[in-house]
């Protein structure tokens, strides 16, 4: 039997189930280097214009699926950053920071909860996506050594197809970052670190989330993701003005020099 990891704010650890909720403290993505392996297509993402062109046909919720089926038909400068037989990495259509990419399996996987660690083919999917996440992370760190990045996914994704966000933490001038929901989806525990997901999967635990509890996080007060001592901001313009007033999302000198 496969153990199930369900994240919930209201419960502790049960017999065969690890319960995890929005109170989980998010950790930063690992900055370990990864070898830049070959891919069928690879381009340099623009820090100010990283976006993809939107899925062709179908409903909005399924807009990611065409990229997994025919990545070679998309513009490598604006839509598909890289692809292989097992994964595809695309530019987010509505980037919430200067660098915002999505890493997906080519195989159709609705979301992370659809994967079973007891199935060899599902373990392979997680391994392949993780390898590509680390490869692209290493590339972005080399290209933008002063920026901090996170790898993660939304506990309650809005789009069909498993996708891992690789997103820089310099949110100040992202034009598409407009609402409280946008902000909280990347700066609260609603954004679940990919590293944790991989660790749970390798431990043989299936990952699921308490939808209602996580959705409540999107209504959280507007807090700076770094200046934790500051009170909440009353609106997004004031928060973004604060973010723009001093460096945010940058690595310290010691890490940036590595």
- Choose, from 163, 165, 182, 225, the residue flagged as catalytic: 163
- Is 31 a residue of the active site? no
Q: Which residues are bridge partners to 104 per DSSP?
A: 88
Beta bridge partners of 205: 3
Residues recorded for the chain: 258
The CA-based angle 19-187-217, given to 5 degrees, is 55
Classified as helix, coil or strand, 136 is helix
Tokens of 74: 């998309």
Task: Give the DSSP per-residue string, 193-236.
Answer: EHHHHHHHHHTTEEEEE-HHHHHHHTTS-B--SS-TTSPPBSSH
Task: List active site positions.
Answer: 163
């Amino acid at each position: 039997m496969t153990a199930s990891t369900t994240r919930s704010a209201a419960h502790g650890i049960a017999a065969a189930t690890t319960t995890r909720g929005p109170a989980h403290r998010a950790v930063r993505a690992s900055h370990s280097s990864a070898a830049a392996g070959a891919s069928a297509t690879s381009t340099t993402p623009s820090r100010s214009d990283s976006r993809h062109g939107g899925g062709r046909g179908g409903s909005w919720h399924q807009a990611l699926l065409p990229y997994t089926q025919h990545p070679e038909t998309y513009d490598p400068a604006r839509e598909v950053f890289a692809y292989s037989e097992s994964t595809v990495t695309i530019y987010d259509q509505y980037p919430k920071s200067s660098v915002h990419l999505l890493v997906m399996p080519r195989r159709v996987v609705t979301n992370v909860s659809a994967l079973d660690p007891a199935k060899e083919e599902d373990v392979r999917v997680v391994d392949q996506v993780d390898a590509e996440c680390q490869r692209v992370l290493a590339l972005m760190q080399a290209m933008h050594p002063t920026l901090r990045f996170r790898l993660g996914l939304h506990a309650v994704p809005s789009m069909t197809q498993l996708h891992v966000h690789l997103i820089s933490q310099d949110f100040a001038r992202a034009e598409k970052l407009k609402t409280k929901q946008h902000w909280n989806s990347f700066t609260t525990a609603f954004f679940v670190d990919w590293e944790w997901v991989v660790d749970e999967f390798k431990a043989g635990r299936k990952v699921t989330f308490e939808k209602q509890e996580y959705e409540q996080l999107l209504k959280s007060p507007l807090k700076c993701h770094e200046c934790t001592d500051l009170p909440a901001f009353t609106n997004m313009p004031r928060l973004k003005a604060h973010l723009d007033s001093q460096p945010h999302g940058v690595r310290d000198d010691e890490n940036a020099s590595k």
